[in-house]
Each structure stands twice: as C-alpha cells, then as structure tokens.
Amino acid sequence: MSAQIVDPPPVAADLEDGPLEKRIDKKLDEDSPSVPVDAFGDEENAEVKYKVLKWWQCGLLMVAETVSLGVLSLPAAVAKLGLVPSVILLVGLGILSTYTGYVIGQFKWRYPHIHSMADAGEVLMGRFGRELLGTGQILFLVFIMASHLLTFTVAMNTITGHATCSIVFGVVGLVLSCICSLPRTLSKMSWLSLVSFASVVSAVFVTMIALGITQPGSGVAATVPTTLYTGFGAVTNMVTAFSGHVAFFGLMAELKDPRDYPKALCLLQGSDISLYLIAALVIYRYAGVDVTSPALGSAGHTVAKVAYGVALPTIVIAGVINGHVAVKYVYVRLFRGTSRMHGRDWLAVSSWIGIAFSLWVLAWVIAEAIPIFSDLLSLITALFASWFTYGLAGLFWLHLNRGRYWSSPRKMLLSVLNLCIVGMGACLCGLGLYISGKAIHDDTAGVSFSCANNV
C-alpha cells in the first residue's frame, strides 16, 4: 500500500539548529496529518507489538547487523593497500558513514511513515522511486544473506575438514537461518545480537592472539604498489564493512522513541570503527601479505577451526537480522494498514514463514552461484552499498534542504559535501561493477554449485 506524500515547506527540513529533542519534536509536529505516522499505527491493543525497542537494543541490532562479515575481509584489504592508506580510509569511511547514518535519521524524523528504502524512494521520486529502491533493498539484503550462507559453508568445511559436500553445509545453514528468522519483532532478537557481537569479537581476538604467537607473516609495509583493479577492490571491501544503512529505516521504525536513534548510531559507529582498526591492522601485522579473506583462516589449521567455531553464532545471527529486515519489508508491503499486520492468525503466521523461506532459498542459490567470499562482497558493495550507505544519503539531504543550498556558509559547505557523497556513490557503483565482474570472471578457484571444499 502506497502512502500519499505531502512535500514539506522548504524551511521545515532544517534539523541543524537547536537542541536535538526540540528539533525532532518540531519536525514531527510540522508533518501533515495526511501522512501516516508510521508503518505500524496504534499498537495499544495489538496482539503483536513492534514499537518496543529501547535505544540500546536498537544499537545492539545495528552492531550485529553491520559488524559481522565485513571485518573478516579487512586484513586482506589492508595487505593490498598498506598500513597508512588503510588507516586513513577506515577512519574516513567510518566518519562519513556516521554522517550519512544521521542524515537517514533526519529523513525518518521528517517523514515518520517511512519504514524502508522503498518508502524513502517514493518521497524522492514517486511511485517509480518506491519500486526502484524497494527492489534494490530486497536484493541487497538477499545478497547479504547469501554471503552469510557462503561463510557458513566455509566455516563448516574448516571445522569438519570437509566432512561432506559443501552444498549440504549450505542447506544446513539455510534451514538454521529460516528457523531463526521466525520471530516477527526485532525486540526478540536484541539478545541474539549481543551474542553475535560477542562471537565475532571473540573469534577475531582468538585469531589475533594466535597470530601474535606464531607470527607467520612477512612483507608488512606502510604503503604498497597497487593497481586500480587491486586497490579499488580493497576499497570496496572496506565500504562493505560499513554498509548496514540499508536496514536503518526498519530498525528506527521499531524504536519506542525515535529521538533515541542518535544514541544507537553512536553505539554502532564507535564499536565498528574501533574493532575494524584493531582487527585489520593487528592481523595484517602478524599474518603479512598472505593474509586470507575471510581472515579467520590465517592462523593455521587448528586455530582456524577454533576461530570459526567461535564465530558460528555471528555467521548465523548477523545474517538472520538482515534476513528479518528483508522479510519484514515484504510483510509490511503486503499487510500494511490491515489487521494481519498485528495478528497471529494462520494466514499471518504462514505468510511470514513463506516469505522467510522463499528469501532464504533465493539467498542460497546466490551463495552457490558465486562461491568466492571476497568476490561476492565486492559485487554487493558495487551494486548496493555504494548507494544505500553513501549516495542516497546525499540525495536525502539535498531533498530536505532544497531551496536553501547556498543560504549560509554552513549550508554551502554541507551542500558541497552531500554532492560529493552522491558522486562517491556513483563512482563506487560504476568502477566497482567493472572490478567485481572482472574478478568473478577471472577467479577460477571456485565452481558454482560444487561439492568441492571452498576453504
């Protein structure tokens, strides 16, 4: 069901002056009453209540959804660029991701009915925008789900010594992910997200400690010679590590108080920037130029088994959180404004299960078709993360501030910044598609739908 959008007056979009809570209250009060307040409506007597998330629960979900597979590709990216460029890129991308995440919050405060990128697309470009961004969002989330299924097969092959066909491990991951996706509210998954974060942090530290003891690597350098193909591929993997923004509208929609969103965003960004810097630099320092991607395989066969065993919860849970957002998008699109949105009848429950199963099967097909971890991450970044993490946030800001781009020195600076962010998204998309496509074509290490060991 599509909502009729009423464009705000130009002066209503400025969220940059005054205390935060007063600014947000002002934005919520200024919205036209013809625009729905949110996707879930009045939940006072609802059977299933969605808007119950506390800020720290939302923050934990954002951390678990973002800080998972991306960190495993960073040491190999550092090896291709060198220490100095990598530190600059990680810090710079982290700061920029914090800003674009805040702009997404601004857009949600101005249009409280937004639940997904599709809703935001309708604000920007009408019905065409809704379908374009809605399709992009669901595809992006399914590709992320696929990358988690692929990593699950790598982990199981490592732990068991390739005890059976890789396709079987993929099916096991598919079934497990479907079962974990059954809860319909994010609040029930917040504690799982804490387990996920603890899991990936523990796995990374196990790897760092083991590498610090054995020190197998060599060839560490402040800068290294590289090519456009190699260097840009490394950059796209770094961008992927900060690419949780596609789920931010959905997570924010279930907050008990939307004004708490900046706290959750700061919890996310403080956690991911710190962990990424520590993990990427330390693992590269001791593993050297031959560091693997995912990085958990760099510490030797025995330690890799332990590390992957510890990482299994985050491999599953982080994928499930992205899967939940994908399922919720389809479910809300089908039942928004109906009694089944909050119902527990057989049609509501079976619809949720059917949507989840269908999306996870699609993710499994993608994972089997592109069996190389780093190549899959690069393709995901080029197609989707370039826009959902950066480019679209610049367009959101330009929409909120149209007519006032040059009204003050600060606005002029922000206008230039957001135009550059849009250009950055376009560049990541164009060059990234070329490089990831070439990598998939040239890489002969993996075979689609194969029983072979993909470690």
Q: What is the pTM of this model?
A: 0.87
pLDDT tens-place string over residues 60-117: 999 998 887 668 779 988 999 999 999 999 999 999 999 999 999 999 999 999 999 9
CATH class (in words) of the domain with range 46-442: mainly alpha
Confidence at residue 189, expressed as pLDDT on a 0 to 100 scale: 83
3-state secondary structure at position 210 = helix
- CA separation for the pair 405, 397 (Å, rounded): 10
Nearest to 298 by CA among 308, 309, 313: 308
**How would DSSP label each residue in 215-277?**
-------SS----HHHHHHHHHHHHHHT--GGGHHHHHHTBSSGGGHHHHHHHHHHHHHHHHH
Are residues 103 and 393 in contact, defined by beta-carbon separation less than 8 angstroms? yes
What one-character DSSP code corresponds to residue 382?
I
Confidence at residue 190, expressed as pLDDT on a 0 to 100 scale: 81
pLDDT tens-place string over residues 399-409: 999 999 999 99
Confidence at residue 143, expressed as pLDDT on a 0 to 100 scale: 86
Write out the chain's pLDDT in tens, 455 residues. Answer: 444 444 443 433 444 444 554 554 454 444 433 445 678 887 888 888 999 999 999 999 999 988 876 687 799 889 999 999 999 999 999 999 999 999 999 999 999 999 999 999 999 999 999 999 999 999 889 988 988 898 899 889 989 988 889 899 999 999 999 999 999 988 888 888 889 988 988 988 888 888 888 877 777 888 888 888 888 878 887 888 898 999 999 999 999 999 999 999 999 999 999 999 999 999 998 888 888 777 777 777 888 888 889 989 999 999 999 999 999 999 999 998 888 899 888 999 999 999 999 999 999 998 888 766 556 666 777 888 899 999 999 999 999 999 999 999 999 999 999 999 999 999 989 988 888 787 777 766 656 777 877 76
- CA separation for the pair 323, 6 (Å, rounded): 31
Nearest to 199 by CA among 112, 90, 320, 111: 320
Are residues 269 and 98 in contact, defined by beta-carbon separation less than 8 angstroms? yes
Nearest to 5 by CA among 163, 168, 125, 170: 125
